[in-house]
Homo-oligomer: A and B are copies of this chain.
């Protein structure tokens, strides 16, 4: 069936309208659930949905794009962080933290971010999927961008601090963190991220 047309945000939307789209989303969800993030392939998803793999790429982009869209990810650090890593080295901690907090300060992005975090942690099927996406699309890229010993460990340590901060401020809403300004949080926490990314290995 011919599928191209109504412009979605960045990509086309399959013509059979919401039918084809729903079929692809259902197929991708099943593929990710069955095989995990690393095991899932765009070809497999296309097969399940009964559409051509090239067409799937054309409409939904990469596996990371498709996953981000399915989980309703409010930000795509896999796209933004490499850009930040290419900037001034001594401001990376601050740049990462400001990027993340600026996104989460927007109510709609925060609402979706909380949903993603809740299901990534609260749901046993979602947990390894989310971890796979995080590792493959984000941590490995940061590690490649750092080019230091222990690069993957460093990237993962950054993830611990950022995730813990998001949880405590936006999900648990611990008062001192929920009440702090973005500037205050950056002043406290950016040096942590900076240290994980550029201090000598202990």
Q: Which residue of B lies closest to A177 (CB)?
A: B156
- Annotate A140-164 by CB proximity to B: 1 below 8 A, 0 otherwise: 0000000000101101110111111
A180 CA / B121 CA spacing, docked (Å) = 21
Cβ contact within 8 Å between A157 and B188: yes
Residues of A within 8 A of B (CB): 117-123, 127-128, 130-131, 134-135, 139, 150, 152-153, 155-157, 159-165, 167-169, 171-177, 180, 184, 187-189, 191-192, 195-196, 202
Of A119, A171, A173, most buried by chain B (CB within 10 Å of CB) is A171
When the two chains form the complex, which single residue of B153, B165, B184, B195 contacts A164, counting CB atoms closer than 8 Å?
A: B165
A148 to chain B, nearest CB (A): 13
When the two chains form the complex, which single residue of B165, B175, B191 contacts A135, counting CB atoms closer than 8 Å?
A: B175
A128 CA / B153 CA spacing, docked (Å) = 32
Cβ contact within 8 Å between A177 and B164: no
Q: Which residue of B lies closest to A122 (CB)?
A: B122
A127 CA / B195 CA spacing, docked (Å) = 31
Cβ contact within 8 Å between A161 and B159: no
Of A122, A130, A184, A195, most buried by chain B (CB within 10 Å of CB) is A122
A171 CA / B122 CA spacing, docked (Å) = 10
